[in-house]
Amino acid sequence: MKNDLNYAVELIKKADGLLITAGAGMSVDSGLPDFRSSGGFWNAYPPFQAMGLGFSQVATPNFYLEHTEQAYWFFAHRLIQYRNATPHEGYQILKRWGEQMKHGYFVFTSNVDGHFQKAGFDNKRIYEVHGTLERMQCFHNCQGKSWSSAEFQPIVDDEHYRVISPKPICPDCGGMARQNVMMFDDWFYCDYYYRFKEVALEEWLRKVGNLVVIEIGAGKAIPTVRNFSERTAKQKKGGFIRINPQDAGVPKMHFLSLEMGALEALRALDNILNLDRNS
């Protein structure tokens, strides 16, 4: 089913729990690049293209060892970009809908930008399946710990692809620290912090009787979010709404897709909901 806003509103109105699942497209309307689109962030890193390196080679622990300066710059540059951006109004719309439901909301996202927290969502209800740049860990994961990146306020030299300020270090072993984000070939990734969120999400799902899944801006290349969304909606016999301007296809007849940008779709749905409530 395609672009049926009224049907989407019916699914939201009857739900007692809102599962928000989000990929990089959710942050595009906040002015942040997604990943693989033509305006995506991968095309914005000419130094790596010049080195003949693809994302799957740069986003690796090995790149930290072989090109330490550029690896830290890449981490810090994105962190600064995300911190400088403000989550768009669609986040508030989702939060309001979720808070009005009996069991509230839960967020499942592959985004690493920390924008659900920044928009005021409850951190206990956000499962960041690939980690977040707002946390750090020991490069070698010496104690299986991660910690907040808040104190890491890097200064970057974008011309020479370097971090000028001190690089983060592990408080336990004194070695290198890095972002707590799952990279490729990442045998050192520390998922400790997120496993609690995963369990909390499972418990929450068990309580919800009438689920609606709203999936926003999740791409096809790394389909973690798309697969989880479809599987969960199916298992819970819940409603399913996919919001995506380019990759809106859905596998089942009763799954709904809105071929629109995140903010445009959420505003349109919110207008109908408000009209319904006021009539």
Ligand X SMILES: NC(=O)c1ccc[n+]([C@@H]2O[C@H](COP(=O)([O-])OP(=O)(O)OC[C@H]3O[C@@H](n4cnc5c(N)ncnc54)[C@H](O)[C@@H]3O)[C@@H](O)[C@H]2O)c1
Which stretch in 109-117, 136-144, 195-203, 227-235 sits in contact with Zn ion by CB under 5 A?
136-144
Apex CA 56: angle with CA 226 and CA 38, to 5°? 65
Total Cβ atoms within 10 A of residue 181: 20
Integer angstrom CA distances of residue 262 from 198, 217, 256: 25, 7, 15
List, in sequence order, every beta strand (DSSP E) within the chain.
17-22, 105-109, 126-128, 131-138, 146-148, 156-157, 162-163, 177-181, 211-216, 239-243, 256-258
Closest CA to 56 of 199, 171, 253, 221: 221
Which residues within the stretch 167-206 sit at the binding site for Zn ion (CB under 5 A)?
170, 172-173, 175
What is the smallest separation between the CB atom of 39 and ligand X, expressed in angstroms?
9
Window of 3-11, 150-158, 187-195, 239-247 that interacts with ligand X by CB under 6 A: 239-247
Does 130 participate in binding ligand X (rule CB under 6 A)?
yes
Query: Which of Zn ion, ligand X, none lies near 221, with the C-beta cut-off 5 to 8 A by kind?
Result: ligand X
Q: Sketch the per residue contact string, 101 through 130, with Zn ion: x for CB under 5 A, - otherwise.
A: ------------------------------
Q: Which of 196, 191, 189 is nearest to 125 (CA)?
A: 196
128 binds, among ligand X, Zn ion, none (CB under 5 to 8 A by kind): none
Please report which helix (H) or strand (E) contains residue 233, including its range. Answer: helix 224-235
If one asks whether residue 90 binds ligand X (CB under 6 A), the answer comes out as no
Sheet strands side by side (includes 177-181)? 146-148, 131-138, 177-181
170 binding partner (options ligand X, Zn ion, none; Cβ < 5 to 8 Å by kind): Zn ion
Contact call for residue 217 and ligand X (CB under 6 A): yes
Q: Is 257 in the site for ligand X (CB under 6 A)?
A: no
Residue type, 251: P
Name which position in 21, 34, 67, 152 contacts ligand X (CB under 6 A): 34
Residue nearer to ligand X on the CB measure, 156 or 262? 262
CA neighbours closer than 13 Å in the CB half-sphere of residue 195: 7
Q: List the one residue from 17, 168, 219, 238 that touches ligand X (CB under 6 A).
A: 219
d(CA 174, CA 170): 5
Q: Is 158 in the site for Zn ion (CB under 5 A)?
A: no
Q: Return the number of the residue (142 or 200) whose C-beta is nearest Zn ion.
A: 142
**Interaction between residue 7 and ligand X (CB under 6 A):** no
Q: Is the dihedral of CA 202, 107, 216, 2 positive or negative?
A: positive
Q: Counting contacts by CB under 6 A, is residue 233 touching ligand X?
A: no
Q: List residues binding ligand X (CB under 6 A).
A: 23-25, 27-29, 32, 34-37, 40-41, 110-113, 130, 216-219, 221-222, 243-247, 261-262
Q: List residues binding Zn ion (CB under 5 A).
A: 138, 142, 170, 172-173, 175
